[in-house]
Structure formats: structure tokens, C-alpha cells
Amino acid sequence: MTGLALSPQVFAILSALIEEKTGLHYDLDDAPLLADKLVPRVVERGLDSLLDYYYFLRYDPASDAEVAQLVEALVVNETYFFRELAPLENVVQSCVPELLRAGVRPRIWCAACATGEEPLTLAMLLDAAGLLEEVTLVASDISTRALARAREGVYFRRSLRALKPEAVGRWLTPLEKGMQVESRLTNAIDFRRVNLIDEAQVRALGQFDIVLCRNVLIYFSDATVQTVIAALTRALTPNGRLIVGASESLLRFTSGLVCEERAGSFYYCKRTT
């Protein structure tokens, strides 16, 4: 069907609409990849063309539900336990004790948590240090499906590939296939659906001493990264710290944050003056 071919013109309006709703940025080179994700949605909706799909997303009163479905098709939920571990260890060994000594109950937000492996790794490290009950943990993602999996706490090989052997038996119980995370850990995390480009949703979460926003900025344009970083900066307490992914330097942007190195990990600290 010719309507299911993604012409440069239709790519331009559809990719702009997707970016407006989700922050996800696609270059023209990504058009075949995007078409692979969009065409099944067009077919499922019973529409004849990608252009009709665009009009549906843009103008139909039922479009919010379809955008939510589309998000599930587009997002990359790739993550695993103990990924990029050093900054998490540093949070537990250095930042959290520092806040506790200052009489603060640390509030930590994992801002694109996918299926939950990252906040659960943090919960394991906090538990091992006897600090799990001393902190408030919030974890969010745009994907409702990923959050449902996070709350369920059942994980398979891909998520377990860098698992520390000592975690098994202590926080994870082997199942016939995969592993179940102890409910004490999943219950210690407040999982919420938050679209990072929706400033009102970010604001509603309140303020945090530490925000982890790792391996999601790579999917956004520079302009969107700056908007998201501004919203995350507003969500930080004075002297609060933002941690991004190992490949996601913010140094090329001007922001209200100062980069600081601690034990080989980089933090972006909120400027107080």
C-alpha cells in the first residue's frame, strides 16, 4: 500500500508530532526504523495511510490513548541490574550519609527507570548499607507497560546479565524462569508515570536531593535536553545533585548546574548563587 510508505514530507510532520508529545527525536536517516514502528499502529487503527494516522494523532478526540500506545511501540526500555554502578555506589556511600548527617531525609528520583532495574539496584545498595528505610525513593517512566513490569518485579536473563552473585538469595529469588525481586524492595519505591517533557508532571513530584536521569537524554534533541534539564534543575533542592548517563555529558549546555567529580563519578550540582 503506497499510503504505508513514509515519504519525507509525512516523516517531517509525524516525527515533529512525536517529538512534541514524547521528546523522542528522529532524524531523516531513522525514517525506515520509525516506519517499522508506525505501520503496525496504522494497521491496528484500521487507517489507510501514515498521513491519515498523522491527522488522527493530531486532531482526533481519542488521540491521547493512541499516543500512549505509540509510546509503548517507540521507547527503548533497555536496562539491567548494576548498570553504570559507580555513581549509585557513590550516592549510597557518600551523598546519602552526608544528607542524613545534616538532618535531611534524602529524596531520590530515578527519572527514566524503564522496567525498574536501576531504582531496584539502588534499593539493594541502600539496603546493604542499612539505609533503605532512611530515604524516599521515587521512580518514573513514560511507559505504562515498563512501570507495570517494574511493580511486578520479575526479571529475565537480559536484565540479570551484570547481577552480583550475592544479590541472589538476598534480594532475588530464582523462579523456574527468571527471578523475583523481594517485595520489600519494590514496595520501597514509589513508581509513577511521568513524561519528562511535561513540566507540570515533573513539578508535581516535588523536590529531590538526588535525581538520576540516565540513558534517556540520548533520545532527545539538544533543545529538548535543555528543556528537560531546566525542569530537573527546578526539581532539585538547593545543592541537590543530578546524575546523567556515562555517555550523556551536559557540559556543552549552559545551565544552573555545576559539574563536580567525586570518586570518578560526575554529578551536576545545583548552583545556589
Ligand X SMILES: C[S@@+](CC[C@H](N)C(=O)[O-])C[C@H]1O[C@@H](n2cnc3c(N)ncnc32)[C@H](O)[C@@H]1O
Q: Which residues of this protein are in contact with ligand X, per CB under 6 A?
A: 22-24, 75-79, 83, 112-114, 118, 141-143, 146, 195-197, 214-216, 219, 245
CB of 99 to ligand X, least distance (A): 22
Q: Which is nearer to ligand X, 115 or 255 (CB)?
A: 115
Q: Which is nearer to ligand X, 33 or 76 (CB)?
A: 76
Please give the DSSP secondary-structure letter assigned to residue 91.
Answer: I
Please give the DSSP secondary-structure letter assigned to residue 133.
Answer: G
Spatial CA neighbour of 25 closest among 223, 244, 247, 227: 223
Q: Which is nearer to ligand X, 118 or 209 (CB)?
A: 118
What backbone torsions phi and psi does residue 189 show, to the nearest 5 degrees? Answer: -110, 130
Q: Which is nearer to ligand X, 50 or 75 (CB)?
A: 75
CB of 219 to ligand X, least distance (A): 6
CB of 85 to ligand X, least distance (A): 11
Q: Are 195 and 93 in contact (CB under 8 A)?
A: no
CB of 142 to ligand X, least distance (A): 4
**CA 104 to CA 99: how far, in whole Å?**
5
What backbone torsions phi and psi does residue 27 show, to the nearest 5 degrees? Answer: -85, 165
Cell of 165: 552473585
Q: Which is nearer to ligand X, 1 or 73 (CB)?
A: 73
Handedness of CA 269, 140, 39, 49 (dihedral sign): negative
Q: Are 25 and 221 in contact (CB under 8 A)?
A: yes
CB of 1 to ligand X, least distance (A): 30
